[in-house]
């Protein structure tokens, strides 16, 4: 079973779930999730001889939630990962992320390659820095109501999701598009009669309890820094992500259409060791099919 504790990183308290001893593996969750989304990987990695650590990233779960939006920039998020590795007494770690955690993992490997022994992105591939701000691109491609653009106005999506935490999470995790969507983000999905097979009621209850306490603002603030991140990373235009890398995605994950692992994405990851497609799997990859994800992770880790 994982143990839980807090560490002080960059002036805030970060909650960790950790298990095992050995080379350090850091697991970064996405939105809207917490360290609990790595419950299957913590056990498997520990059994294989690794020190697996899953933080609640800043703004999430039991970790601190700075109030200012600019405290959620990509430099703050990468800074937390680097500080965590140092706090745990290591010089390097394998950094694995899912969804927004993938963005943090890829950027940790980009900005601090000497700290990253290997990097794994699950669902979200490396995204090359384009010539236009990201929110301009999403509005042009998907329209002004695209969820990332909808998230920008402080307080709007926050209030929508906080109004019915369990209902919102049920809809988002089930991920079935609504034929007649209602305004907002969760309303784009049907309210499922039964939970997905990968999400037992007791695990949903954990997420509901965590987001009832924390709210969604911290996670939404990651999106509110997208254009700011683009502006601040101009010096890394076309810079390669050099550590050994792995990309894993579910074959039914909608992210594949939004952000494909195309030629441009592959070009910035010259040491991409493998890509793994998880069959009959949607967006919540490591929870939906932990067996295949764990197999891919352990094979990659052994190769390092």
Catalytic residues: 99, 283
Q: Which of 219, 284, 222, 302 is nearest to 248 (CA)?
A: 284
């Amino acid at each position: 079973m994982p143990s839980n504790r807090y560490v002080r990183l960059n002036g805030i308290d970060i909650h960790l779930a950790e298990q095992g001893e050995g080379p350090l593996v850091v697991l970064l969750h996405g939105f809207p999730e917490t360290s609990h989304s790595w419950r299957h990987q913590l056990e498997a990695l520990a059994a294989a001889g690794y020190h697996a650590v899953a933080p609640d990233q800043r703004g999430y779960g039991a970790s601190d939630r700075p109030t200012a939006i600019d405290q959620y920039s990509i430099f703050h998020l990468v800074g937390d990962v680097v500080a965590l590795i140092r706090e745990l007494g290591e010089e390097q770690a394998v950094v694995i992320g899912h969804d927004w955690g993938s963005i943090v993992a890829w950027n940790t490997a980009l900005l601090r390659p000497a700290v990253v022994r290997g990097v794994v992105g699950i669902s979200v591939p490396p995204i090359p820095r384009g010539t236009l701000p990201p929110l301009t691109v999403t509005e042009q491609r998907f329209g002004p109501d695209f969820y990332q653009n909808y998230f920008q106005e402080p307080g709007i999506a926050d209030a929508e999701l906080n109004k019915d935490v369990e209902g919102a999470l049920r809809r988002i995790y089930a991920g079935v598009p609504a034929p007649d969507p209602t305004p907002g983000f969760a309303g784009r999905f049907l309210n499922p009669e039964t939970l997905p097979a990968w999400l037992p009621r007791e695990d949903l209850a954990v997420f509901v309890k965590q987001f009832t306490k924390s709210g969604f603002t911290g996670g939404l603030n990651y999106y509110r820094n997208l254009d700011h991140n683009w502006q601040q990373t101009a010096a890394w235009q076309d810079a390669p992500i050099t550590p050994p890398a792995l990309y894993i995605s579910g074959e039914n994950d909608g992210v594949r259409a939004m952000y494909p692992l195309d030629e441009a994405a592959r070009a910035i990851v010259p040491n991409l060791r493998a890509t793994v497609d998880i069959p009959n799997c949607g967006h919540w990859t490591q929870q939906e099919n932990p067996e295949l994800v764990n197999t891919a992770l352990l094979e990659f880790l052994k190769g390092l």
